């Protein structure tokens, strides 16, 4: 009986997310699974067949492909002042450069990064900065897509990446995944 109630509750918690899919075309969600945070605050899609892993002291959410282990999806949540809006942090280009220089390829490290694109979009009253990078690592290059959002005193950085050799095969999929991030409350 308890299992049934847990499943029923999970269904109703995911219901708003599922209703938001009605406006999406079937090709938009093909090959993707829905994820919603335990508090019901946010959700997104991740590729079918990927598995969630726990990273102690790391991102809040991490998924990776079991077959191509270089392919990852992560969500980092950082505290910011509740009065801060994304545009107060900077333009998409400025935020993209800050992430690149401070996190992806800090000075003195063995990585270099190129900011390929930085754009702003708005969904359901939230401003998102979509940023694309090419990261040069010692052994191979890596392609990363990220979206950055500020909501209720938190900065969310949702990113998907893979090695550059696989980029052409997964680019559209990763764009759908990163673009799927939504808030519900």
In angstroms, the CA 25 to CA 27 distance is 5
Count of domains forming the chain:
1
Taking the complete model, does pTM exceed 0.95, yes or no? no
Which residue segment(s) compose the domain that 106 sits in? 2-183
Beta bridge partner(s), residue 145:
132, 160
pLDDT of residue 27: 57
Q: What pLDDT digit, counting tens, does each position of 78-114 carry?
A: 999 999 999 999 999 999 999 998 888 888 788 899 9
Q: What pLDDT digit, counting tens, does each position of 112-129 carry?
A: 999 999 999 999 999 999
């Amino acid at each position: 009986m308890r299992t049934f109630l847990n499943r029923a509750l999970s269904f109703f918690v995911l219901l708003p997310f599922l209703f938001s899919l009605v406006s999406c075309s079937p090709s938009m969600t093909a090959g993707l699974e829905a994820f919603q945070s335990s508090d019901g605050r946010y959700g997104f899609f991740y590729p079918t067949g990927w598995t969630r892993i726990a990273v102690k002291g790391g991102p809040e959410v991490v998924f990776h492909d079991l077959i191509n282990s270089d392919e990852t999806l992560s969500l980092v949540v950082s505290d910011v002042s509740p009065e801060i809006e994304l545009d107060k942090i900077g333009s998409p280009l400025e935020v993209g450069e800050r992430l690149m220089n401070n996190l992806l390829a800090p000075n003195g490290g063995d990585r270099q990064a190129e900011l390929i694109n930085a754009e702003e979009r708005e969904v359901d009253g939230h401003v998102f900065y979509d940023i694309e990078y090419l990261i040069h690592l010692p052994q191979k290059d890596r392609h990363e897509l990220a979206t950055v959002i500020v909501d209720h005193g938190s900065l969310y950085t949702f990113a998907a990446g893979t090695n550059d050799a696989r980029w052409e095969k997964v680019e559209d999929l990763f764009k759908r995944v990163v673009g799927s991030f939504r808030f519900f409350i």
